[in-house]
């Protein structure tokens, strides 16, 4: 079922047309409702029309903030403030509950960690095999091996579960953005403190610290490196 938003007094000079692509990791119905809710609050671009296959938004002639800007303490604090408001938006929480079920009943941390660690191991192994075959002239293979030793030890699942058990009831599960990085933080004008956080495709219930931890992790590396984006850059020339 498609829902048309009230277009009165909305006359953008330029629009942005976003088509939805099938993705098994995306709860599209949840993303649609989140965007509609945040658009009504002015926290994302204005929503002009939204259906099940595409969305028409106001086009923002801004730019993505860089990793170096996101390392700035003032900008970091503004992002943290935004995330705090997102996590404790009870209307959003009700929307998420409708799509995902009650959050505490919907989470199995051990199952999630086991699944994610296996996917990450498989990806790292594939990239490592590629690099060993093609023998790059730089130190990407060395860095990848160090990453594997530090972040993917044999007992990785047990370590994470033990950490969660130590935290116990102090873990607060909230609706998280789950993909906070420079490509999803869009400056609305020349003032870098005026920005939109976009792309809620991977929003889900997770520990409250997840978004901030992901933000810090993403700002360690420059994902716009010429070889590609993120971990995939290690497998390209």
206 φ, ψ (degrees, to nearest 5): -160, 165
What is the rounded CA–CA span in Å between residue 131 and residue 125? Answer: 10
What is the CATH architecture assignment of 15-233? Alpha-Beta Complex (3.90)
- At residue 136, the pLDDT reads 76
Residue 88's contacts (CB-CB under 8 Å, 6 or more residues apart) are 174
Residue 120's contacts (CB-CB under 8 Å, 6 or more residues apart) are 152
What is the rounded CA–CA span in Å between residue 123 and residue 34? Answer: 30
- At residue 234, the pLDDT reads 41
- At residue 237, the pLDDT reads 32
- At residue 6, the pLDDT reads 47
Tens digits of per-residue pLDDT, 54-90? Answer: 999 998 887 888 888 888 889 989 999 999 999 999 9
217 neighbors 179 (Cβ within 8 angstroms)? no
The one-digit pLDDT tens for each residue of the chain (237 residues) are 344 444 445 555 688 899 988 877 788 999 999 999 999 999 999 999 998 899 999 988 878 888 888 888 899 899 999 999 999 999 999 999 999 887 554 566 677 677 777 878 888 888 888 888 887 777 778 878 887 887 788 787 788 778 777 766 566 788 999 999 888 998 887 766 789 999 999 898 888 888 988 898 888 766 555 544 444 444 443
- What is the average pLDDT score of the chain? 80
- At residue 131, the pLDDT reads 85
pTM above 0.85, yes or no: no
Domain range annotation of the chain: 15-233
């Amino acid at each position: 079922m498609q829902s048309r938003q009230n277009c009165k007094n909305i006359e953008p000079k330029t629009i942005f047309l976003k088509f939805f692509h099938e993705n098994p990791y995306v709860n599209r119905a949840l993303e649609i409702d989140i965007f509609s809710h945040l658009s009504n609050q002015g926290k994302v671009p204005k929503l002009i029309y939204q259906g099940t296959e595409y969305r028409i938004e106001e086009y923002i002639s801004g730019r993505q903030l860089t990793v170096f800007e996101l390392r700035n303490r003032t900008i970091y604090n503004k992002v943290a403030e935004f995330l705090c408001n997102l996590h404790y938006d009870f209307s959003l929480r009700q929307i998420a509950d409708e799509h995902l079920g009650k959050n505490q009943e919907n989470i199995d941390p051990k199952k999630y960690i086991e699944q994610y660690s296996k996917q990450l191991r498989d990806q790292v192994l594939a990239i490592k095999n590629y690099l060993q075959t093609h023998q790059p002239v730089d130190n990407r293979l060395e860095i990848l091996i160090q990453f594997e030793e530090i972040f993917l030890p044999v007992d990785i699942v047990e370590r994470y579960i033990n950490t969660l058990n130590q935290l116990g009831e102090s873990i607060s599960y909230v609706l998280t953005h789950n993909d906070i990085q420079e490509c999803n933080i869009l400056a609305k004008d020349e003032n870098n403190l005026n920005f939109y956080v976009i792309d809620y495709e991977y929003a889900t219930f997770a520990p409250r610290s997840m978004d901030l931890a992901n933000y810090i992790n993403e700002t360690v590396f420059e994902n716009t490196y010429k070889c590609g984006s993120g971990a995939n850059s290690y497998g390209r020339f």
